[in-house]
């Protein structure tokens, strides 16, 4: 079994735990979501799922994403000026760069940033519980 199958099974188990029946359509949604290497929005996810199963409605995609989000196994990202995007929660912690011209989302991780955030919080008398960092950027043009 590959990682995508394992992820899809975890998503199915979470829905079942919430009392949601796993239909053919929902299984297709979970498979496509588990295979996504990017952060698709609901419309893009629906488009990909329809390549697997034409009977899947956009409403079913939204209901499934909502149930997964309520279970805490899918994260909803609402980046400035774009529709909500989704990714599975099992990915290691990372931050995001959002290209303001193309909407492309680039994941990155920086130990320097993680340490600096913890240091700043500690200096101010806090402990970081969770955080989210989004950098809105534009590709540099050669001069």
Indicate if 46 and 22 belong to the same structural domain: yes
pLDDT at 4: 67
pLDDT at 73: 81
Q: Are 79 and 98 in contact (CB under 8 A)?
A: yes
CA separation for the pair 85, 58 (Å, rounded): 14
Q: For the chain of 143 residues, list the mean pLDDT of each consecutive stretch of 10.
A: 68 83 88 87 94 93 89 84 81 86 89 95 94 91 75
pLDDT at 1: 33
pLDDT at 97: 92
Q: Is 23 a domain residue? A: yes
Indicate if 55 and 112 belong to the same structural domain: no
Please tell me the total count of domains within the chain. Answer: 2
Indicate if 78 and 29 belong to the same structural domain: yes
Q: Are 88 and 7 in contact (CB under 8 A)?
A: yes
Alpha helices in 18-85 (DSSP H): 24-35, 42-52, 58-70
Q: Which of 49, 64, 88 represents a domain boundary (last residue)?
A: 88
Q: Is 143 a domain residue? A: no
Indicate if 7 and 60 belong to the same structural domain: yes
Indicate if 76 and 109 belong to the same structural domain: no
Length of the chain: 143
Q: Can you give the CATH number for the domain in which 113 is found?
A: 3.30.1490.190
**What is the pTM (predicted TM-score) of this model?**
0.71
Q: Can you give the CATH number for the domain in which 12 is found?
A: 1.10.10.10
What's the helix, strand, coil split of the chain in %, to 5?
45, 15, 40
Indicate if 83 and 118 belong to the same structural domain: no
Domain that holds residue 118: 95-137
Q: What angle do CA 138, 140, 143 make, to 5 degrees?
A: 145
Indicate if 108 and 75 belong to the same structural domain: no
């Amino acid at each position: 079994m590959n990682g995508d199958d394992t992820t899809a099974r975890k998503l199915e188990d979470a829905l079942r735990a919430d009392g949601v029946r796993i239909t053919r359509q929902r299984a297709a949604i979970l498979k496509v979501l588990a295979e996504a290497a990017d952060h698709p929005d609901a419309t893009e996810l629906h488009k990909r799922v329809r390549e697997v199963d034409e009977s899947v409605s956009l409403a079913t995609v939204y209901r499934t994403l909502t149930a997964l989000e309520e279970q805490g196994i899918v994260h909803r990202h609402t980046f400035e000026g774009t529709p909500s995007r989704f990714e599975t929660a099992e990915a290691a912690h990372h931050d995001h760069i959002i290209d303001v011209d193309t909407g492309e989302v680039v994941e990155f991780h920086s130990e320097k940033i993680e340490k600096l955030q913890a240091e700043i919080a500690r200096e101010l008398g806090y402990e970081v519980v969770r955080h989210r960092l989004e950098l809105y950027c534009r590709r540099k043009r050669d001069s």
